[in-house]
Structure 1
Amino acid sequence: MTHLEKLDHHFKEKRDEHLEQLKGFLRIPSISSLSEHKKDMQVAAEWLMDSCKTAGLENLSIDETDGHPVIYGDWLHAEGKPTILVYGHYDVQPVDPLNLWVSGPFEPEVRDNKLFARGASDDKGQVFMHVKAVEALMQETGSLPVNVKFIIEGEEEIGSPHLEKYIEANKEKLAADVIVISDTGMQGPGQPAVCYGLRGLTGVQIDVQGPKGDLHSGLYGGGVQNPIHALAEILASFRDQEGTITVDGFYDNVRPLSDEEREAYKALGFNEEALKEEVGVTELFGEKGFTHFERTWARPTLEVNGVFGGFSGEGIKTVLPAEAGAKITCRLVPDQDPDEIVKKLKAHIEKHKPVGVTVTVSEFDKGKPFITPFDHPAIQAAGRSYEKVYNVPTAYTRGGGSIPIVAAFDEILGLPVVLMGFGLDTENFHAPNEHFHLENFDQGLRVIGDYYYEIAGFTKDELKK
């Protein structure tokens, strides 16, 4: 039997057992953002460590941080073979509003071949798959074709505030040849995708102060600068009518798309009418000269996320407000630096600040963009593993969102990062009725197991970034 045949036999035989085990994991309300669930976080960490031990991982530990703990485990007996570092998280989002759940968020239930529960897709289900892939190979062959290390954290849903410090302090312990993360999605049902890049993020809040208090618009209107008008001028100055960002130097370090990437995106096909219907707009909008995938995956953005100031209650109040403000975020692409972009935003705001007001700019958290070239051997190997199991070509995509800790892995450990996701955009992660399509659970187990063999075919030098 080939290794894929052995994996197929194993997972068919163990499917019901595996689903019951996963349900046990999903019953633990490991909500990292709520202090009342601190004990549940510890219970989830211990459950996961026991599962890793059963799978055959060694040197297991629950490593304390200044927040929730990190689980570490490894198997390092494939002499001369590459090492895969598997990352995931065991914490989940809060469940509000509870009344919208069809079944309890921590009462796993299978309906229409979908497993419903908080964490089913993001990320307990996908972490569980990696553990069970190791277990299957150990039970069927007695060893692994590569060395593996697992690092599973409990704070991803609150921005991984302590993980970067942990990575810095454990660089030797976490040394590997490739990082594999299953916390992303596929291109669509039956359409696997390897995500090879994510946009970074930076944001600011603009506060515009005018008079020391709200003024009567009849007495002072036309004689005192209105902070909302001043803010509107600043916001309007950020982009032209075609969506191009007009901040000086904003595009200076943007890495251009290669011809191969543009062709790969074009080959995915794009249904503009379907997207307009999905989001409820009459027309799409974006930077001139780029396709929708290029705009949302590989081009930087500047978006106004919220505006506040003045009177917004029922009826009208003839007031000239004392202050106004806005929150802005920028999605960044390689090789943009979040700190440099903030400096350019501040310079732009200062340059376009109207008279008669004081403007202050506050910074938000930042995350750097990340990219592993999509022709990298580790990326292409993932594509081959998907194709063997799904029997369709793999899509190579970038993600429009940000996972800041991925950039930290890339920067601190200097390794290629492979985002092998098995979720779907429609699975309501972070929302009521989160679920995981079990056909992707079934096929994903086989993809992960095969990927270990694909990586085993490379030397460590061949995998260097």
Structure 2
Amino acid sequence: MSSIESVLETADSNTDAALERLFALLRMPSISTDPAYHSDCVATADWLVAELSSLGFDASRRDTPGKPMVVAHGGPQDGPHVLFYGHYDVQPADPLNLWKSDPFDPQIEERDGAKVIRARGAADDKGQLMTFVEACRAWIETSGALPLRVTILFEGEEESHSPSLVPFLKENAEELTADIALICDTGMWDTQTPSICTMLRGMVAEEIIIRAADRDLHSGGYGGPAANPIRVLSHILASLHDDQGRVTLEGFYDGVREVPGELAQQWESLGFDAEEFLGKVGLSVPAGEQGIPALHQIWARPTCEFNGILGGYTGDGFKTVLPAEARAKISCRLVWDQDPLAIREALRARVHHLLPADCEVEFIPHGADRASVMAIDNPAFEAARQALADEWPKEAVYTGGGGSIPIAGHFKQVLGLDSMLIGFGQDDDAIHSPNEKYDLNSFTGGTRSWVRVMAALAK
């Protein structure tokens, strides 16, 4: 087996060619949400199959009712086995007039003294997944083989809610099961500090519609005796939090745990400044649970937030109306062992309890997923963390994620796999927005990092 230094030298010498390959991938408008780009998604999957096959992987395109999956196998058949996941589909590029250049004509640009790759999908997720492919290439070109057994799964529907993913995992569970999953769809703490995301919040989302009279009513003629759905809904929403910012639903905090001391100390060492964080969006005072540090609120505490509310006349001018209905969209971010279905039932029970006579309610569910909490006592996590620390200027850290990455939960629930979420994106990459970029240093450093992580996990 070649030394890591030799493999890293190969990765460095491949940089120009690696960028050409990445640019070829970025030129493909693999927009999964728009049926007009279906053939482009298929072509992108075929391109990835050809690229992996050229490296010696047993690679194939697997068609689904939606966009194809790409599955590839390589490396020795004994020893540690990893499943690497990425997605090749991208968000639509609209609005096009806000882009500095064609979103599907990738460019290298100078930005604040550093080089960046500008294109749709550069950071989410084509640049990220290609760091792993290029690391595999460096190992194969240097030593003729991968240091461990690798299965690759590239999905084409992540940006359109992955309708084909869970059925595909269930149908191919035996083939895809490994020792651990690697997901490259996250970011670093900062440009100097790599991270492994070990906690992702789950979510339960619900739309509530309150209805009363059979039509909109004149507030002068009916105001007072007639039930007003906006007032009823507002009363219900106001009941969901107490004066300390805690959620009041029965059983809401069942399954919520405290952050372990060692992990909490690591988070504190990051120097997160809540005022600076909020100041970037024109705010200044943390508004969540009182007494809970803001970073803990984002990574390790549950929330109940109102995402939209509608009722009555909302156009220009004024209309004195009692609306026939009012609606709100509510999402609860979940942590640790909270049960999304139990929380949905508690929310519905609260609504029914506060619903007055002459009113009826309709509930529209919008998903329910548990949080993902990784078992960081698995030695593979510390081995990977040290490998990342060897590449970057600062020690690698375990972090949490305020949002949700459903694939981690699916791997756990369907395949029984813990996931290591190791990514090299930055907060300013503008994913899903015009002028998406990926730092050149993220691409080259990410490739070198995977070389090191693969070697560490092989041991």
Contact map agreement 1:78 1:145 (CA 8 A) in 2: no
Contact map agreement 2:128 2:424 (CA 8 A) in 1: yes
Q: Which residue of 2 aligns with 1:8?
A: 8
Shift of the alpha carbon at 1:2?
A: 6.7
Contact map agreement 1:196 1:379 (CA 8 A) in 2: no
Q: Which residue of 1 aligns with 2:99?
A: 101
Contact map agreement 1:167 1:412 (CA 8 A) in 2: yes
Residue identity opposite 1:13 in structure 2: S
Q: Which residue of 2 aligns with 1:20?
A: 20
Shift of the alpha carbon at 1:380?
A: 1.4
Q: Which residue of 1 aligns with 2:122?
A: 120
Partners of 2:164 and 2:12 in 1: how far apart? 39
Contact map agreement 2:31 2:91 (CA 8 A) in 1: yes
Q: Which residue of the other structure, out of 202, 221, 236, is the alignment partner of 1:234?
A: 236
Q: Which residue of 2 aligns with 1:271?
A: 273
> After the TM superposition, which residues 360-399 of structure 1 pair with which residues of structure 2 at under 5 Å, given as runs?
360-399=362-401
2:408 corresponds to 1:406: yes
Partners of 2:353 and 2:225 in 1: how far apart? 23
Q: Percent identity?
A: 40
2:56 corresponds to 1:51: no
Partners of 2:282 and 2:409 in 1: how far apart? 33
Contact map agreement 1:297 1:399 (CA 8 A) in 2: yes
> After the TM superposition, which residues 90-239 of structure 1 pair with which residues of structure 2 at under 5 Å, given as runs?
90-112=88-110, 113-239=115-241
Residue identity opposite 2:13 in structure 1: E
Partners of 1:192 and 1:355 in 2: how far apart? 56
Post-superposition Cα deviations, 1:230-251, rounded to whole Å, max 9, x if no partner, equal 1100100111122100001111
Shift of the alpha carbon at 1:288?
A: 2.2
Q: Which residue of 2 aligns with 1:66?
A: 65
TM normalised by structure 1 equals 0.96
Shift of the alpha carbon at 1:78?
A: 5.0
Post-superposition Cα deviations, 1:358-395, rounded to whole Å, max 9, x if no partner, equal 12222112222111133332221221111111031112
Partners of 1:306 and 1:390 in 2: how far apart? 42
Contact map agreement 1:89 1:152 (CA 8 A) in 2: yes
Higher deviation after alignment, 29-38 or 278-287: 278-287
Q: Which residue of 2 aligns with 1:460?
A: none
Higher deviation after alignment, 367-376 or 14-23: 367-376
TM normalised by structure 2 equals 0.97
User: How well do the aligned residues superpose, as a CA RMSD in angstroms?
Assistant: 1.3
**SS of corresponding position for 1:172:** helix
Shift of the alpha carbon at 1:117?
A: 0.4
Contact map agreement 1:180 1:418 (CA 8 A) in 2: yes
**SS of corresponding position for 1:229:** helix
Q: Which residue of 1 aligns with 2:339?
A: 337
Post-superposition Cα deviations, 1:6-25, rounded to whole Å, max 9, x if no partner, equal 13321222111111111000
Contact map agreement 1:378 1:416 (CA 8 A) in 2: no
Partners of 1:3 and 1:307 in 2: how far apart? 59
Post-superposition Cα deviations, 1:256-303, rounded to whole Å, max 9, x if no partner, equal 321222212111111123112211113121112311111111111110
Q: Which residue of 2 aligns with 1:424?
A: 426
Partners of 1:401 and 1:335 in 2: how far apart? 16
Residue identity opposite 2:374 in structure 1: T
Partners of 1:438 and 1:318 in 2: how far apart? 57
Residue identity opposite 2:285 in structure 1: E
Partners of 1:434 and 1:118 in 2: how far apart? 6
Partners of 2:356 and 2:259 in 1: how far apart? 37
Residue identity opposite 1:10 in structure 2: T
Residue identity opposite 1:147 in structure 2: R
Q: Which residue of 2 aligns with 1:34?
A: 34
Partners of 2:363 and 2:47 in 1: how far apart? 45
Residue identity opposite 1:109 in structure 2: Q
Contact map agreement 1:233 1:354 (CA 8 A) in 2: no
Contact map agreement 1:92 1:119 (CA 8 A) in 2: yes
Partners of 1:167 and 1:438 in 2: how far apart? 33
Post-superposition Cα deviations, 1:286-335, rounded to whole Å, max 9, x if no partner, equal 11231111111111111000000101111111111111000001111121
Residue identity opposite 1:137 in structure 2: W
How many residue pairs align between the two structures?
455
Contact map agreement 2:216 2:323 (CA 8 A) in 1: yes
Q: Which residue of 2 aligns with 1:463?
A: none
Residue ranges of structure 1 left out of the alignment (5+ in a row): 458-465
Contact map agreement 2:4 2:455 (CA 8 A) in 1: no
Higher deviation after alignment, 12-21 or 36-45: 12-21
Contact map agreement 1:78 1:144 (CA 8 A) in 2: no
Q: Which residue of 1 aligns with 2:74?
A: 75
Residue identity opposite 1:308 in structure 2: L
Partners of 1:296 and 1:2 in 2: how far apart? 42
Shift of the alpha carbon at 1:188?
A: 1.4
**SS of corresponding position for 1:365:** strand
Moved over 4 A (4+): none
